[in-house]
Amino acid sequence: MSLVLLGIGLARAVSGSYITWPTGMLALGILMALVGMALHIT
């Protein structure tokens, strides 16, 4: 959820899409969590 809020803030700061930025940040957060679990970091 915090990555989505960060994405909204970034979209506002760079005049970007309010759908693309939060969705991208959420997707990357999920991907990083999966990589962390695969590497037994988390």
Give tens-digit pLDDT for 1-42.
888 998 999 999 998 888 999 999 999 999 999 999 999 986
CA 42 to the chain's CA centroid = 18
pLDDT of residue 16: 87
**Separation between Cα atoms, residue 11 and residue 22, nearest integer Å:** 8
CA 23, 24, 26, 30 torsion-angle sign: positive
pTM metric for this prediction: 0.77
pLDDT of residue 42: 66
Supply the angle between the helices 2-13 and 20-38 in degrees, to the nearest 10.
140
CA 5 → CA 8, 26, 31, 39, distances in Å?
5, 10, 17, 27
Please give the residue range of the domain that contains residue 23. 2-38
Q: How many domains does the chain have?
A: 1
